[in-house]
Structure formats: structure tokens, C-alpha cells
Amino acid sequence: MPKNMPKNIPVAPFYISLLGLWSNMGQDEIYDRWLRQSLEKYGAIRIWVSGRWNVLVTRPDYVSDMFRNEDIYAKWGSQKKIPWTVIASLVGDNIVNSHGETWKLYSSVMKPGLQKTTFDSKPLLEKSRQFVSLLYRTQQEVGHGNGVMVNPLIQRFTIAAMGESFFDIDFQCLENPDMRINALQSIIKRTIFKPLYFNFPILDRYPSIFTSRRRAFAIMKEFEDLLYDLVKYRPRKMSRKDPVAPKDELLVHMMERALEEGKITEEQYRANLKITFLVAHEDTQSLLTSMFWQLGKDQTTQDKLRAEVLATGIADPTSDDLNTLPYMTSLICELLRLYPPVSQVINRISTQSSRLGGEIEIPEGTFVGWSALGVQSDPRVWGPTARDFIPERWGDDAKEIMAKVRRETVRGTFIAFNSHSRKCLGQGYAFLELKMVLFELVRRVKWSVDPGYKLKLTPGGILSPMMCKVRFQALAEGREIGERTIQDIKA
């Protein structure tokens, strides 16, 4: 360990970085066994990740200090930290991991498309309906006494929804499970976070020796080229005769114009296409999987959500309709708190010697990061029920709930979407997509976790239940439950 690393915080055991080589422990189990006690006591630890020692923090004032001082703790992604690796070849230099003038350039091009206040909700409603039909059709195929593995079906939905909302394309993933763009995502997820290469990235320098890495590089290139071609030659673009009206422009139209005008290079355009594709489907995919688990084992919560939805009397909700539903809003916030898709990130570097939170000496050139899983399940932050799923903790008014989200984000206690100047630009879209699909789900089906399924969260990377199996029941029967719940609430 470098001699100038901070001395007043504990060191996580080196071997936890290697657990994935022989253990199937999930991120929650690893955190609880080896990290929670030290992080809840000291708020920061030294930990080995991605081939080096880093500082990982969970105390809200440390987190806020890091987010607030962007120029001291600068974004420094894989493209700079480990540029020779498979993951760097996948993500490139993009709006998420860039810093300074480059980030400002990307933001000027992409922010209007990512933060649209008038997302057309109709394509999301259509894809949500297709998704629910797919779930129930799959249940019929496997038989009602068996569980449906939802993970691959959710991925197909989130890719389809993201394509409509950002890329002006129907990727046809819901209709066809064999679409190559979908298959590549499954391969990439299995490839990127392999413990040996993730924690010893130096090995990616030798693809001639490690042939699996040579194949991994080829997969990343295939994904990039396929996505580029699908977007460039999308049917709607090829058949369009008139320019897209400014009010109807999506992210892809803004990016294409920036490329044509020379504001960004083709390399930058490709990298930002990829990162948008990845983050705009992976995070909601992860949270939806967690939702099926949580609500599948908690029928009271599921029925309460169904009651709220059925009480609207609406079949074709708009974004305005969805934004008035307090219990749905609070439920999504609680899912994000306990199951943050991006559970841990170490992608910032200290550009000068500093004192984090006024207490921890951080030498120049030290990599620092945060654990949302740690911050958001800490009893010192969220009280004695921190690890319990309680949507009601967020409030009972939709606008007040979102105001609480903003306050907790600024305080560094709720960081599922990052914070301050680098807060996730796609937060609004993520809420809209999740609300739309939840609305359609509880209207049409009731679900429960398959009795034979035991929760196992991913060992690294995006936090999500693995191989989650759920049983679905048609709403023809589920509606009675929802109506009884409405009467119970009224009573």
C-alpha cells in the first residue's frame, strides 16, 4: 500500500476483492461481513479495487464534500484510469466519466435530450403493455406451477423502452428474443465484472495470453459497430422526408447534429451512444428485477400499490397522471434506497492534496469513491429501520416526496442518482419508465416469488437479484384483490 494513503481510517481485507474467484457471495453479504462495521464507525476505508488502493466513503458529509468539490475530486473513468482494458474499450470517453471542458461539451449536446421535460409517454405505455403480455405468455408456456425467470425478459423490455425514448428506434427486443443487440448485453454483463480481471486489470494488457480477453475485446467492438449501424440506418430516419420538429427531437437527433456540425468527433459520438445505451437500460433493468423480488414477497405492499392504481380509473396514463401517485413514487424511492443499481463507484481522483470532510488527508492522485449501498442502509443515517423496506418513510404527497429526494440527495444521504453538478441526467426518465411499467403491471397481473427461489444478489457491478423467478396470475383474479384492498383503505 502507498505510504501516503490516509492512516486514520481502517483497511478492508485485500482478499475480499478475490472472493468472486471461489465464492458466490452477493454484494450485500460481502458488505455486511467485511465492510459495514468499519464504514458505519469511521465513514471511510482503504480498499483494493481495479488494481490499486482507493478510499471508499459512506459518511454523508464525506460524500457531499466529494460531490460538491468537483475540481478537487475529479471524474476519472476507466478510459483514463485503465485505458488498455476491456471495460475502457466498452465505455470510451463519455458524459458520465469525463471532466472539465470535455464534460461541459458533452453536456451541452446531450443534456436537453436526457432531461426532456416532455418525454412522450405513449411509446413507454405501448412497450409496458407488450412486456406484461410477454410475462404472462411466458408463464403460460412454463406452466402455472413454475416460476418465470424475469431477468432476461426485463432486459428485453428496458432495451426496447430506451430505444424509443432516446434513439428513435424500435430494437424489436420484445418481439424477438434473438436480436443480437440484446444477446450482446447478456454477454457483456458476464464479461465485464469477472473478479480476476476486474481487480487485476493489468491482465488485460496480455490478450494474446488470456484468450478469453481477446474474445472480450472482440465482443465490445461488435457491440459498438452494431449499435452505430442500427442507429445510423434506423428505419424511421431512412424513411423520414421532413426534418424532425424541435419539440419532437430526441437525444439521438441532437447527437447526430453535433457530429454533423463538427462539435464532437465520431469517436466521441460512438462512446456516448454506447454509454447512453448501457446506463439507460441497465439501471432500470436492475431496479425492476429488485422490484419483482421485493413486491413478490410482500403482497401487502403490492396490493396497496394496486389499490392506488385501480382507484384512478385510468387505463391510459400520461406522465402527469403518474406523477400524482404518492405511494408509487414513495415505493420507487424506497427501492432505490435499499437496492441502488449503482451500488459502489470509485471513479474520482484527487487533483491536489486535500482534507475530505475536514478530517481525512487525501494525497494528490488518490482514487476516491462512494457506496450507495452503505450510505442508504446505515442506521446512523436512516434510523433503526434503515434496512427495512418502508415506502411510507418518504411521505404521502407526491410533490413533497420528490422534494425530500432532492434534500436527501444534497445532504449526501440518498445518492442513487449521484449528486450536485454530476447528478444523473436521466433521473426523470428513469422515474417515468418505472412508474409506467408498474402502473401496467399491477393493473393486469399479480405476482409472487417462486417458492423455490432464494435471493442471491450479484457479486459485483450492478446490484440486482440473480436468476429471479416469479409466478404470475392474471388480473382477472388479481382485480378482486385490488378492489378488496380499495374497500379496506376506504374503511
What does the pLDDT look like over 175-223, one tens digit per residue? 999 999 999 999 999 998 888 898 899 999 999 999 999 999 999 999 9
Mean pLDDT of the chain: 93
- Residue with more model confidence, 128 or 422: 128
* Edge-to-edge order in the sheet of strand 344-350: 44-49, 52-57, 367-371, 344-350, 73-75
Residue 16 has pLDDT above 80, yes or no: yes
C-beta of residue 284 within 8 angstroms of C-beta of residue 434: yes
3 state SS of 88: helix
What tens digit of pLDDT does each residue of 435-457 get? 999 999 999 999 999 999 999 99
C-beta of residue 174 within 8 angstroms of C-beta of residue 131: yes
Cβ-proximal residues to 155 (8 Å cutoff; 6+ apart), any chain = 173, 182, 185, 186, 281, 285
| Pairwise CA distance, residues 367 & 30, whole Å | 21
Nearest to 5 by CA among 39, 49, 45: 45
Residue 300 has pLDDT above 70, yes or no: yes
Of the pLDDT bands very low, low, confident and very high (cuts 50, 70, 90), residue 421 is: confident
| Pairwise CA distance, residues 391 & 335, whole Å | 8
What tens digit of pLDDT does each residue of 237-249 get? 999 989 999 999 9
DSSP secondary-structure letter at 457? B
Beta partners for 44? 57
Residue 332 has pLDDT above 50, yes or no: yes
pTM comes to 0.94
